[in-house]
Amino acid sequence: MKLKLVISIIVLIVIATIITCTMDKGLDITPWIEGEMIIDSIQRVEEGQTGDVVVVVAPDFPPKKWTDIIKTPPLRFDRSAQIDTIEYKVPLNYGNYAVVAVLWKPKGEEWSFETISNILGVYTEPNLFEPKHVDITKADTYVPGIDIFADFAFVRYGAFLKGKITYTGKFAEDTDMVVLASFPMKPETVVDYLFAQGWDLTLPLEASAYEPYEYVLDVNPAYHKYIAVFWKGDRGSPYDFKKLADLKLPDSLPQVGSFVPQGTYVARGDTLTEYKSTDGTMLPLDLVMDFNKIK
């Protein structure tokens, strides 16, 4: 009888331990961030091409790999409206997150963070170019107020520029961001940069990137005059960019009515891979990014 009693007590202790552990796990609460996505210019995207919109969070920016990105299910918004406001919530582990953004994909395409073309907006300070970090500590149940202003006017989509970027000079260890962009003119003022027809923030930042990097830049169907690579260090102001490579495209047409376009026209669905030099030779859209220009 004593043996049976001992066994019964042991069984009860094991069961109690299992129940206690189960209850303890049930008390664990996954923290989250929450906010509003204010989305504008919804009607700008062509009928049937709006696709899905999600909020994404990544520990690094640019994200190192797609599997690092946490995203919400597709958010419901009024596709017939000009502007709409949607509440969202993202469960996250404790830690520091470099970017919270609104990502868009055209209907029928896969999700991608390879170009900035699909980003409609990021969580940031007013008039700040860089994303604002979000910290979740063990003292936080949730972090509210992560509001993001998103705008379909930022979409650069429908045509492509394709070429190669070669790196030269001593790699800058304080590299924070490298941007590839295309413009309808050579930008001379801060306002001119707002007219970029397409840009990409995901160029390789490691010293190992000295292998030629083949880029495919999503751009608007439009005239493209100036392609450039800009560099920013991890110190200085958010606007302290330096141009490390550029390429001017020839004017493909003379005057069109009262409009005199600059650059080479890229039609919807087309990919521009080369341009005509002054001597008539066809050259690729290749750029040499020189780190010596940082000095």
Q: What percent of the chain has pLDDT over 70?
A: 78
Beta strands in 110-170 (DSSP E): 119-122, 134-136, 142-143, 148-151, 159-168
Q: How confident is the model at residue 262 (pLDDT cuts 50, 70, 90)?
A: confident
pLDDT for residue 254: 62
AA identity, residue 191: V
User: In this structure, is residue 113 part of a structural domain?
Assistant: yes
Tell me: the pLDDT tens digits for 100-124? Answer: 999 888 777 777 655 555 788 889 8
Query: How far is C-alpha 24 from the geometric centre of its chain's CA atoms?
Result: 39
Q: Which residue has the higher pLDDT, 241 or 115?
A: 241
pLDDT for residue 257: 62
Tell me: the pLDDT tens digits for 9-43? Answer: 344 433 444 344 444 444 457 899 999 999 988 87
d(CA 286, CA 139): 50
Does one domain contain both 175 and 213? yes
Do the beta carbons of residue 163 and residue 273 sit within 8 Å? yes
User: In this structure, is residue 213 part of a structural domain?
Assistant: yes
Q: How many CB atoms lie within 10 A of CB 125?
A: 10
Summary mean pLDDT of the chain: 80
Q: How confident is the model at residue 90 (pLDDT cuts 50, 70, 90)?
A: very high
Does one domain contain both 137 and 182? no
Do the beta carbons of residue 244 and residue 258 sit within 8 Å? no
Residues β-bridged to residue 20: none
User: In this structure, is residue 3 part of a structural domain?
Assistant: no
Where among 131, 154, 177 does a domain terminate? 154
CATH number of the CATH domain containing 72: 2.60.40
Where among 102, 120, 154 does a domain terminate? 154
Do the beta carbons of residue 203 and residue 164 sit within 8 Å? no
AA identity, residue 49: Q
Question: Has residue 277 got a pLDDT over 90?
Answer: no
Does one domain contain both 39 and 150? yes
Give pairs for 196-199: CB < 8 Å, separation 24+. 196/156, 197/156, 197/222, 197/224, 198/115, 198/117, 198/156, 198/161, 199/116, 199/117, 199/156
Q: Which residue range is the domain that position 278 belongs to?
A: 159-294
Task: Please tell me the total count of domains within the chain.
Answer: 2
Question: Has residue 79 got a pLDDT over 90?
Answer: no
Closest CA relative to residue 142, chosen from 30, 295, 248: 30
User: In this structure, is residue 22 part of a structural domain?
Assistant: no
Does one domain contain both 133 and 169? no
User: In this structure, is residue 5 part of a structural domain?
Assistant: no
pLDDT for residue 8: 45
Do the beta carbons of residue 151 and residue 195 sit within 8 Å? no
Does one domain contain both 145 and 222? no
User: In this structure, is residue 235 part of a structural domain?
Assistant: yes
